[in-house]
Structures are given as C-alpha cells and as structure tokens.
Structure 1
Amino acid sequence: MAGSQMRAPVLITSFIILMVSLTGAKGSSMKQSSHCRAVCTDGGKNDCITLNQDKVDLKTAKDNCQAFKGELLEFQSKTDKSLFDILSRGLFGNYWIGLHLPAGACSNLSAPLRGYKWVSGEKGSSFIPSWDKSAELCSPHCVSLTGDQKWTEQLCSDIIDGFLCKTKLEDACRGQEVSHPTVFQSSKDCSSGPCEHDCKKVQGGYTCSCFHQYIPDSKNPKMCKLHCAQQRCPAINDMGYYLCPDGFLKVESEEGNFCEDVDECDMRPDINCNCKNTYGSFECSCREGFVLKDQVKCIKFKDSEDLVSTTLAVVAFVKPPTQNNTLKASSAPAARFLWLWIVAAVAVIASVFTIWFYVVKRRRQRESSNQQSSVNVPVGNIEC
C-alpha cells in the first residue's frame, strides 16, 4: 500500500508538469515576431508589396496575407516585377510567393512555370523564372523566391524565412513592426514635396520620415501623426495651440502643458472584452465563445456568420476621428483554449485521485478480511 501511496502523487505531479508544458508551448507558438517592410507605387492605385519576416509554412503565410487584406505575391503585371526589384536589394533568404503544384500533379520542366499554378487561379506571369534547380518534383511542392531572384521548389510544409504579400498602402505592414521605411516607387525626387515632414531620395524612389514626437501614419506612411510612448508627454505647441495624440488628454499645470494617457478600459468598451490599457490606445481580446466584430465589440460566435471562429483576438484598428482624445483600438493575442486545458487537467487529476482512493480502500478491505479469516480458523479436539 505504501508503494501505491507514493506512486499516486508522483503520477499526479508528472501529469501537472506535462499539462503546464503543453499549455506553455501552445501559448508561445502563437507569439511570433512580425518584421515588415514595404515598397509601394506613388500614385492613385497605391499598390504595395510587403516583405514579412515571420518563419512560417506556405499555408500560414497565405492566411497571414489574407488577414491584412492581401494575397501572396503573384507576378501578374510589370508593376509587381518592378516593385520587387526595389524590395530585393540587400535581401537575403527564401520567401514564399503564391505558386504551387496542383494536387496530384508533377512538375513539367519544359513549361514556363514548370506546371505550377498561382494560388488565386490566375494564369501567366510578368516574371521569367530563374529556377534554382532542375529536377522533376510532384505535389505538394510550392515556390519561394530569393533576393537574387532565384525560384526554389520546396515542400509547402517547410518553414522558411518569410513571405511576400501584395496589398494596398492602407493595409501594408498594418499592426506589424516596420523594419525599414516604406519605399515609394517614383521617377520624381523630393523636390515635389511628397512627404508631410522629411523626404529622402533612395534608389528607385523615396522614403518619408517624421519629426520628433511624431510617427508615420500606419494607413499612409507619407503622413505623420502625434505620438507619445509613455504615460505623460509635453504637448506640441502648434502656433499657440497645444496638441495631444489620440487617446491622450491635455493637462495644464504650472510646469506647462502636458498630454496624459486616457485609461480607455475604465470606460468599459465591452463587458465581454478583456481590456488592457496601452499608451494612447487599448488592447481588446474576446473571452471564450465570443468573436470580435466592428473592431471593438465582442459578440457570441453563434450570432456571427462571416467572422473567424477563434477565441483569439483579431488585430483591429479604428480610424481616429479628426477631433482629439477619441478612442482607437487594437487587439492582442491570448492563449488559445487555455481554459479548456485547465478544465481537462483538473478533471484528469480528480479521476486519478478517485481511482487511487478506490484501490487503497479495496486493498485495506482485502487485508482486513484475510486477518479475520486467520482468527476464525476452527481448531480440532485434542485427545489426552
């Protein structure tokens, strides 16, 4: 019995450690660094190609592009090729594009695209491929592209250096860490005044930057907006008018005029939203059974038809109104199904305790029965 008593706690402890490690691995796998750079046309269309440096497989790359209203890059026009020519300078590694072998098909070395098809179903290409290797391969294979413009055939499940998306300017690198200034492809120089603040001529076009206490507008990097990365910042004096970033209140004191962060979570935007205040904004994630709608509202999943079925918050942005001190929001990732893991762990632990208690009880009853039987054994008559 002592052996059983020792084994049960050890088993339970081991199970708890296993569940914690599984939960931790699940949560950490959802956190990916997201470094993005973009090259865009300078004109009415504002088409962009973004380089995203997340190490993912092709399916994840495709989903990530679509999450930001884009698609994996497909070379369908001369613009696609010219934008990539600018983006590829100084580029190292392999990056997914939207080219794959159809299911059950094998490559054809004599065909221009070797029998590969664009993910969107479009045909043709503005790019004359320079293949890295010459070998017949069969599905599932996809194509990546290098900075020196080599096309490489690899398994679609491979984890490579990143992926290339085609999107619009207002969605390019939205909600991601921008690793390089956005390059605008243009034959004009900075003399035309394309940037709100500073302009720098680069090969193939120009880039824009902002003055101190300003950052590029995520929807239009040519424009700048006020920014404060702490609880309190000095207000900007614009010809006698003191201005503050969105999500901040102007406070007058003897020391001068300051901007102080507003805690939007105190206003309770949605009781079903797990709210976390940030400087100038807040982060919202929906609890189990709810999904994000209209960027700041959580609704029951069964009431939604065209929303993603996930308990994780989707990155959302609210266009700041022209007036100051108005809310805007984004959402942050939460651990997927964390509560399901916890409930499952508690249920299994309870089951282990129940079984252990039952086994110990039966063993005690058996030992007690054996002792009683030995005492009641009949003794024969002794003859003298």
Structure 2
Amino acid sequence: MKNLILLLASIAILPQVDGEIPNSISCTPKQCYTAFEIRASFQTAVDMCEKIDGHLMSVRYSASNDAMGELLRDAEGEFWIGLQFNGNGCTDTSRLRRYVWITGDTLTNFTNWSDGDSEPFCAPTCVSVSRDLKWKGRSCDKIMDGFLCEHDRTKVCAPLEPRETDESVHYITPFGNEGEGPTMLPMGSVVTGRPSGVKHICTPDGVWLRAPWSCEVLNGGCEHKCVTKTPQCTCPAGTALQRNNITCTPNDACVNLGCEQLCLAGACLCRDGYELLADGKGCRDKDECRDTMICPNSNCVNTIVTPTSNYTKDVTSAVTAGGLLGITVCVVLMILIIVFLAHQISRRRSSWNIACMLKSPGEDLQDLQQVTTQKYTKKSSFVNRNVKQDT
C-alpha cells in the first residue's frame, strides 16, 4: 500500500508542460527522457523541465546517447541539453571543455562534440543537439526548436510483452504519451492488452501490477467503479464484468466479443469441422488426419468445411462446374417431358368426357342394337359357309 501511495504522489507531481504532451519518450533501465518541441531559450527550458520533476538531459554514457537518438528520430531542428559553459577560463583540455552539467558536476564517460558549426568557446554558451546527435555550442539566449528533459528519480519497468490472447499492447505514460508495442516505461505508466483489455501499471518497485489495483490510483484501473476494500471493479445495472475483471459489457456477454461463428457464456466456439484460432474469435478448417483417435492409420483424407455452412466434401471427389451444369440440364428436361405428358393425358380425358355428354340415351340404345345385329349377321354367314361345304 505504501508503494501505491508513493505512486499516486508521483503521478500527481508530473503535470504537463504548459499543457503540452512530450513529443517522444525513451527510457533506459535507470531513467527516462522526454522531448518537447517547444521553442525556448536555455533558461526557459531549464524551468520547464523542473516543472515536471526533471532537469535538462545529461548525456554521460553511450546508453544515454542511444536514448537521445530515439527521442530525436523524427524531430526537426535543434534541442537544448543540460550542458553549459562554466565561465572559468578557456584553456581547459578536459573532455567537457570547461562545460558543466546542469546538475553542477562534470562526471561523464561520453562526449560527442561537433568539429564545426559551434559558436566560440569562452563565452556564455550552452549546448544543443539535433538528429546527428553532435554537441554544438550556442548562445544561451538563442531560441531553440525544443529541449530534452531527464527524469532520474523515477523507477522504470521492463517491456511488458503481449499475453497469449493479445495481439498488441497500448501504453500511456504519466506525461500523457501514448504508443503501441512493448518498451521500457516510467512508473505510473499503464499498459493495456488488445483485444483482452487487461491492464497493468508500473509500480515504484519497477514491476508490473495487474488491475484492479488500489482504488486511490487511477480508479484501480476499473472502467466503472472501484470498491476500495478488496479492491474490486463493479458494473452498473444491466451490464456484467468481463473476464479481464475491469471492463463492463451488456449482460449478453457475447454482444461485443466478435466471434466468427458461435458464442456461449462469453466464450467463442466453432462448428463441427472447425477449430478455434489463437485470437479466441476466428475459426479455421480442422485437419482430422492429425487426430489419431479419428484416423488411427495413414489412409486418411481430410474433409474441407465451407466457411458459410456445415456442408463437407471430400477433396478427392469434388463435382466440377461442367458436371454440375450437365446434371442441371438433365433435370430440367425430365421436368419438361413430365409436364408435356401430363398435359396430353389431360386433353384426351377431356375430349372423352365431352363426347359422352353429347350423346342421348336413345343413341346409346341404337348403338347397342347395331352392334348386336352386326355380330348376329357375321355368325349366320359363318354357318351358311359350312353348310355349302357339306353339300
């Protein structure tokens, strides 16, 4: 708890310089540095760095020089650093050439003086740098394009790598800087995993603490309300706490998950024939041949599942587009033939019914008598022919 209170105090004394957020930040294991693209004289730059609990940057080691290179990678113009002429003569052959760090000492294991483009020594000059990182003497009253601050009273946390379920991390520092990717950050920085939403804060011990943390510090990292006793995040009515324990979603936990296929109780699932991707949302075809329980021998053919349905097909017997067209034509022809035959049968039955309806009962009797007479006549003729043959 003591460390978290110290963290709260540290965050409180890091106001922004005149409302400006540093253009860049870079940290080594021992300190952090910030770059401000604010036009200022040397003394104005000194005052501004002190407002955010720092001082103008000292470049005593090659590691500091590397950090300065990160700060100025995309910068234009010249920036003040914390080195100024001490005014005690012009014949000093030391590495700092009668210059002194803003902290009042001359300790250094590194220099990078420019051979040219510097104002004369033995004058009230201060040192500026640009993207070439060369030290150049300039009149201390000159207005430079910006300045570099050093924060050596802050603890630094090692880069926090994304969790297995996250694709990236997003960070925000106490100075207001935001960015993507793992990097060393000062205490009070908050890193959020994406898409999980899991948060960590850099503590004064130089370690990452997962949210929810003490409610007095940035609301414990909670999206809604932090309960101080545990600490624990709570959500308003109609919403539920997500698995990251800090953010709230509608009671239907599946609403904002973005599952590709199925969702159950806040977890993404896949249909038969698919397996879940590493992001916990997407699905891909499952190669059943890798499962020895399903395919115990080498005679295995994987089935391909279409992305839009549960329909499966064997890759060795797929129907070609031409074959499918031929089947379609045959089916259409058979349907047309059946319709034609049904139509013809219907017409014949209709004509028979009409003929029967037009005949009267008397006509039917005459037709019967005529048929009977014809049969009798044919029989008599047959008998007469037989008699003639006997005579």
Q: Give the alignment's TM-score, normalised by structure 2.
A: 0.39
Larger RCO of the pair (alpha carbons < 8 Å, separation 6+): 1
Larger Rg: 2
